[in-house]
Amino acid sequence: MDDLSLIEEMILWAVWKLGNNAYGVTIRRYLSKRTNRLFPYGTLYGTLAKLARKGLVVKSAGDPSPVRGGRSRNYYWLTIQGREALKTALSLKNQIWDRESQLNLEKG
Amino acid sequence: MDAKGKRLPRLTDWMIRKLTDREDCAAIIGDFEEEFHDDTAEHGTWRAYLRLWGLFFISLPSFLKNMFYWSGAMFKNYLTVALRTIKRHKGFSLINIIGLTVGMAAAVLTGIYLQHELSFDRHHAKADRIYRICIRLGEKDVHRGAFTVPPMAAAMKAELPEIEETVRMSLWPRNYLIKYEDNSYLEKGLIFADGSIFDVFSIPFLAGDPKTALTEPYTVVLSQKTAKKYFGSRDPVGETLHFADIYRDFKVTGVVEDCPATSHFHFEMIGSLCSSKTSRDTGWGGHTYFTYILLKEGASPEVLEAKFPDFVKRHWGVYISADTGISYEKLIKEDRYRYGYFLEPLTAIHLGKKAEIGDTLSIKGSRTSLMIFSTIAVFVLLIACINFMNLSTARFSHRSKEVGVRKVLGSNRKQLMFQFMGESLLISFLALGFSLVLTAILLPSFGRLAQRQLHPAVFLNPLAWTLFFVLAAVVGITAGSYPALFLSSFNPLRTIRGGRSGRTHRHDYLRRGLVLFQFAVTFAILFGTMVVASQLGFLRQKDLGFDKEHILVIHRANNLKNQKNAFKQELLRFPEISTIADTDTLPGRHYDDNGHRMEGRPASEERQIFTMYGDNRLKDLLGLSVVEGRFFSPDIASDKTSAVVINQTTAKDWGLEEPVGKRFRKEYGDAKPGEFVTIIGVVKDFHFQSLHQPILPMIIRPLSMQEWRYTSVKLQSGNLPATLEKIRAVWDKLSGGQPFTYSFLDEDFNSLYKQEQRTGSLFSIFALTAVSIACLGLFGLISFSTERRIKEIGIRKVLGAGVVRIVYLLSKEVVLLVAVGAAVASPLAYYFMHRWLQNFAFRISLHPLLFVVSGAVTLGIAFLTISYRAVKAGRTNPAEALKYE
């Protein structure tokens, strides 16, 4: 399996964190808050579609909501492969990102 | 805030819907709306809008990226399929591409030519304010010209406030021998002009001062090319050139950029007009100069034109009534004294028809032939497009399965239309590429044919590229539209099952119609070619009433001066030379026309007669026959001064029963009032002008030294080059270094039809192109229908049909179509060629045989194309065709 890009990793992470409440608005707000910048919908949906093609997330339509003008939400969940991919990505990062180099980097 | 939530602004809603794919669209709009709702609740309406737009704009790039990603993937598939189709059907693709390439090249070439013709004189910055003064005088059409009298320009500038500046130019074509140190050249491109030429026209100076360049007599301004020719890299300003014909030194006062090819007057040198005595004339009799005016900004040409009649009355009226002794008011009641000025816009001169006389120097364009060729080019292109349409639709059964599969897999009609349109666009852009290469290769030879300097510079022009692009797009869309509409409409079930789609009938009609149209056009072009060719043949063979063969014309013979008689005596000693005659003009060259009044008739009865000066040998030289009286005789003294010979038309025009002995008032040379010239003879009418014109009244006057310009020599047929060398040797001995210039009378006369010869060549090229493209298409079509009917042919052969029968079967429909096409096109072809022939006073009649012959040729070519394929089909072994049944 290909390595995940940073954006993909972030979105997978957000979907996992949000659990049963992962849909467009919440994912975007979560990421905006964590990254401290405005996260665009275009990137979000483009990446989600790619992740869905790779079989890392699934989506299903929720109930229609009045604040959305009667439109339903698309909820996203991680698949088992998605969980595995996220785990691999994080451990990969941890392998490179050991304590010592972090300290060295911060010291400059 | 109500529970229903705040609705998204309609614009955002619409834009998101357009930008996102259908699957996630609702969810995305929902997300936006939810955020908008929350923001409104939290931050208020204004901030919510701001945040909404911010969110939308940062999302835009990836929305777009996603959109293009998907359409890009489909595009790749279309491209693959299109390239595969081209590769698999090499023959069809080749026919399509070759046809379109040639058609487009024809269109592009014609476009370049059109652009060139329309750009004439537009390089002058003030072009829209420059007009040429033209006159109309006498009997309606015959006397319309651009020549004006010398004092007119100054009078106009002084009296008419609309005019900012005027310039007079002398544009008569004449060769000047010009010497500088040891070099001498015969200059053709010398014009004379007032110094104001540089205020009116934009002629950029490279050296010298435009304000003073031509204000002094005997000053001259050179073009860059000429300056280099005489002076190399030295500075020419201040140098002097010797004009050998007029024994004058001219001072070079400036160098200007070379005259562009798109100028209606052409110059290599501009001399100052005030060098000539005529420029200071105050009389209103001699029309010698071209006058151009520059209108003041905002002045209206109509207002100016309205002031002309008064102006004419003030000046010309005074002159003419003094000359005739009759009041102006009385004179203008008669048609031939109607004299007036009108304006011709500078940019209309090249293609204009207003002033036909006096345009001897300008490179004339022809609006009619421009129109004819643009139309033909469009039709040739159309024929190529039709090939494309026909072949693509004919191939539908090959493609119908593909269409079926695509439809079953979810393609909608729009996508299919895009696909087929895309394929045809691909082919048309390929063809565009090839055709531009072809154009670049052909441009120089086309330019030579059209006698224009066409520049490949168009290929650097962004506008031209836009036009090329549009051309390819239009061709692609036109050619692809029918296949796209037709193929995309198939019922998928039927096509996959292999049945016919049930709509073949309609499209067969269209195909037939298109073939019919193609051959109608082909026929018309062929017919045009034949008419032009036969008219040209007629012009060559028509008896002109004089001998033009084997006559050598020696130009500039007056430069021999006192050696003239010695020269003639020496030539007459050659046995090859039978006659030598001196004249001021020759058949096919320029004739002055002068007003004549007859003794015993009222002064108001003045008629224009074309005048030629010649000596007593002229009759023998041209083989003229005298029908009444006699020709000039060397033994009668009065013949040298007061005798004239007229042609039959003159006698008829004046209504003279017994012309010999009648007298005209002598109004030329050093005539005193009351002097007369007597008609001593009448010659049989001969074509002294081109066959465009009827034979007009003409008078031959005895030649005196000052008019003489040509010495013509009648040679016996035989070794022409050797005789020519002998004559040249005599000239070199006696002329004192003057160059020997000569021409042959028959060639000079035939060159009057240069325009028509060009039309003829262009016509044949277009005809060839049209015929080959149409045949290419027909070949493709017949190949296809043969292939489709291969089994039918096989069965027929098994049942005993012979080759002839099969050929008949395959070709009868097309032959019928071609015949009907020719019949349909005949009236139109007749109309246009009839109009073209009106250019000639002497012309062929459109004989029905011409229609029959061009029809037969069209039919024959079509039949040959078909039978090549049909015979092959008829001779195949039926077992080959039927072995899979």
pLDDT tens column, B317-362: 888 777 777 777 777 776 556 778 888 888 888 877 644 554 545 5
- Please tell me the distance in Å from B35's CA to the nearest CA on chain A: 7
* pLDDT tens column, B16-74: 877 776 677 888 888 888 888 888 888 888 888 888 888 888 888 888 777 777 667 77
Most confident of B129-143, B351-365, B451-465, B567-581: B567-581
* Under 8 Å between Cβ of B561 and B705: no
If 0-12 CB within 10 Å is exposed, 13-18 middle and 19+ buried, where does residue B49 land?
Answer: middle
Cβ–Cβ < 8 Å for B535, B837: yes
In this prediction, does ipTM exceed 0.95?
A: no
- The model's confidence at residue B3, banded by pLDDT at 50, 70 and 90, is very low
φ, ψ for residue B27 (rounded to 5)? -65, -40
Above pLDDT 70, what percent of chain B? 92
Residues 65-104 of B with CB under 8 A from A: 65-66
Higher per-residue confidence, B825 vs B322 = B825
Q: Mutual orientation of helices B367-394 and B90-118 as an angle, nearest 10°?
A: 160
> Residues for chain A: how many in total?
108
Average pLDDT on A67-73 reads 78
B33 and A74 within 8 Å at the Cβ level: the answer is no
B227 three-state secondary structure: helix
B5, B28, B60: residue with CB nearest A45: B28
Contacts of B803 (CB under 8 A, 6+ apart): B871, B874, B875
Question: pTM of whole model > 0.80?
Answer: no
B375-389 pLDDT tens trace: 888 888 888 888 877
Contact A67 B5 (CB under 8 A): yes
Split at pLDDT 50, 70, 90, the class of B131 is: very high
Q: Which of residues 56-95 of A touch B (CB under 8 A)?
A: 61, 65-69, 71-74
Place of tokens 């021999």: B560
Buried b / exposed e across B121-132, counting CB within 10 Å, b at 16+?
A: beebebeebbbb
CB contact under 8 A, B31 and A24: yes
**Shortest distance, CA B417 to any CA of chain A (angstroms):** 28
Residues B596/B699, Cβ–Cβ less than 8 Å: yes
B736 SS3 class: coil
- Which of B2, B20, B21, B24 best tests the A interface by mutation, with the highest count of A CBs <10 A? B24
Q: What is the pLDDT of residues B759-785, one digit of tens each?
A: 788 888 888 888 888 888 888 888 877
Residue B59's pLDDT is what? 83
Does the pLDDT value for residue B682 go beyond 90?
Answer: yes
C-beta atoms of B29 and A45 within 8 A = no
d(C-alpha B437, C-alpha B431), whole Å: 10
Q: Do A74 and B27 touch (CB under 8 A)?
A: yes
The alpha carbon of residue B512 and the mean position of all alpha carbons in its chain are separated, in whole angstroms, by 34
Q: Could you tell me the CA-to-CA distances from B218 to A15, B193, B204, B214, B871 in Å, in that order?
A: 96, 12, 21, 8, 79
CA atoms within 13 A of residue B545's CA, in its CB half-sphere: 17
Which positions in chain A touch B41 (Cβ < 8 Å)? none
Asked whether the beta carbons of residue B31 and residue A66 sit closer than 8 angstroms, the reply is no
B365/B367 Cα distance (integer angstroms): 6
Rounded Cα gap, residues B433 and B446, in angstroms: 19
Q: Please name the residues in contact with B38: beta carbons below 8 A apart, sequence gap of 6 or more.
A: A25, A67
Q: Are B327 and B115 within 8 A, CB to CB?
A: no
Mean pLDDT, all residues of chain B: 82
Q: Considering only CA atoms, which of B530, B428, B521, B534 is closest in space to residue B771?
A: B521
pLDDT at B681: 92
Which of B4, B14, B42, B59 to mutate to probe the A interface, most A CBs <10 Å?
B59
Closest CA to B622 of B659, B588, B572: B588
Contact B240, B194 (CB under 8 A): no
Q: Number of A:B CB contacts under 8 A?
A: 89
Question: N- to C-terminal Cα distance for chain A?
Answer: 35
pLDDT greater than 70 at residue A1: no
Residues of A in contact with B63 (CB under 8 A): 41-42, 46
DSSP code of B883? T
Chain A partners within 8 Å of B60 (Cβ):
42
Q: Which CATH number fits domain A6-107: 3.30.70.3280, 3.40.50.970, 2.50.20.10, 1.10.10.10?
A: 1.10.10.10
**Region B478-500: what's the mean pLDDT?**
70
The set of long-range contacts for B75-81, using a CB threshold of 8 Å and a minimum separation of 24, is: B75/B422, B78/B418, B78/B419, B78/B422, B78/B423, B79/B422, B79/B426, B81/B402, B81/B419, B81/B423
The three-class DSSP label of residue B249 is strand
Backbone angles phi, psi at B40, to 5 degrees: -60, -45
From chain A, pick out residues whose CB is under 8 angstroms from the CB of B59.
40-43
Q: Say how many CA atoms lie within 13 Å of B256 toward its Cβ.
A: 23
Token pair belonging to B121: 């004189």
Helices and strands, number each (H, E), in chain A: 5, 2
Interchain contact, B30 vs A72, CB within 8 Å:
yes
* DSSP bridge partners of A57: A78
User: What's the CA gap between B81 and B75, in Å, rounded?
Assistant: 10
Q: How far apart are CA B772 and CA B778, in angstroms?
A: 10
Closest-CA residue of chain B to A68: B30
Q: What's the pLDDT score for residue B698?
A: 92
Calpha distance B350→B213 (Å, rounded): 28
Q: What are phi and psi of B242, to 5 degrees?
A: -100, 120
Q: What is the structure's pLDDT at B2?
A: 43
Model confidence band, residue B502 (pLDDT cutoffs 50, 70, 90): very low
- Among the ranges given (A18-32, B347-361, B797-811), the one the predictor scored with the smallest mean pLDDT: B347-361
Sort out which chain A residues have CB atoms less than 8 A from B61's CB and list them: 40, 42
Which contiguous run of DSSP H or E holds residue B545? none
Q: What is the pLDDT of residue B396?
A: 62
Task: Inform me whether the pLDDT recorded for B203 exceeds 80.
Answer: yes
Instruction: Tell me the longest C-alpha to C-alpha distance in chain A.
Output: 54
What residues contact residue B187 under an 8 Å CB cut-off, 6+ apart? B175, B176, B177, B178, B226, B268, B269
Kindly report, residue by residue over A34-53, the tens digit of the pLDDT.
Answer: 888 888 888 888 888 888 88
CA distance B490 to B161: 74
pLDDT, tens digit, for every residue of B691-729?
A: 888 888 999 988 876 667 888 998 887 778 888 888 888
Q: In this structure, how many other beta carbons lie within 10 angstroms of the beta carbon of residue B715?
A: 20
Show the tokens assigned to B629: 């009286």
The answer to whether B355 touches B145, Cβ cutoff 8 Å, is: yes
In a 13 Å sphere around the CA of B173, the CA atoms on its Cβ side amount to 11
Q: At B7, is the pLDDT very low, low, confident or very high (cuts 50, 70, 90)?
A: confident
Q: What is the pLDDT of residues B632-667, one digit of tens each?
A: 988 888 888 888 999 999 999 888 888 888 888 876
Q: What number of other Cβ atoms are within 10 A of residue B5's Cβ?
A: 20
pLDDT band at B6 (very low <50, low <70, confident <90, very high): low
Distances (CA, A) of B862 to B802, B813, B822: 22, 11, 12
Compute the radius of gyration of chain B from its Cα atoms. Answer: 37
Average pLDDT of the residues in B463-485: 81
- Minimal CA–CA distance to B683: which of B738, B614, B739, B732? B614
Report the half-sphere exposure of B18 (CA within 13 A, side-chain side): 7
Q: Give the nearest chain B residue to A26 (CA atoms).
A: B31
Whether the CB of B59 is below 8 Å from some CB of chain A: the reply is: yes
Question: In A, which residues are within 8 Å of B32 by CB distance?
Answer: 41
Local confidence band at B497 (pLDDT 50, 70, 90 cut-offs): low
**Cα–Cα distance between B403 and B85 in angstroms, integer?**
13
Q: How far is CA B596 from CA B333, B611, B645, B657, B759, in A?
A: 19, 10, 14, 18, 38
Interchain contact, A42 vs B35, CB within 8 Å: no
- Pull the structure tokens for residue B451: 């006698």
In this prediction, residue B703 carries a pLDDT of 83
B29 neighbors B74 (Cβ within 8 angstroms): no
Contact B250, B219 (CB under 8 A): yes
pLDDT digits (tens, 9 = 90+) for B727-748: 888 888 888 777 888 888 888 8
Buried b (16+ CB within 10 A) or exposed e, B671-687: eeeeeebbbbbbbebbb
Q: How far is A64 from chain B, CA to nearest CA, in Å?
A: 9
**Of residues B212, B217, B208, B211, the one with CA closest to residue B254:** B208
CA nearest neighbour of B814 among B485, B482, B394, B376: B394
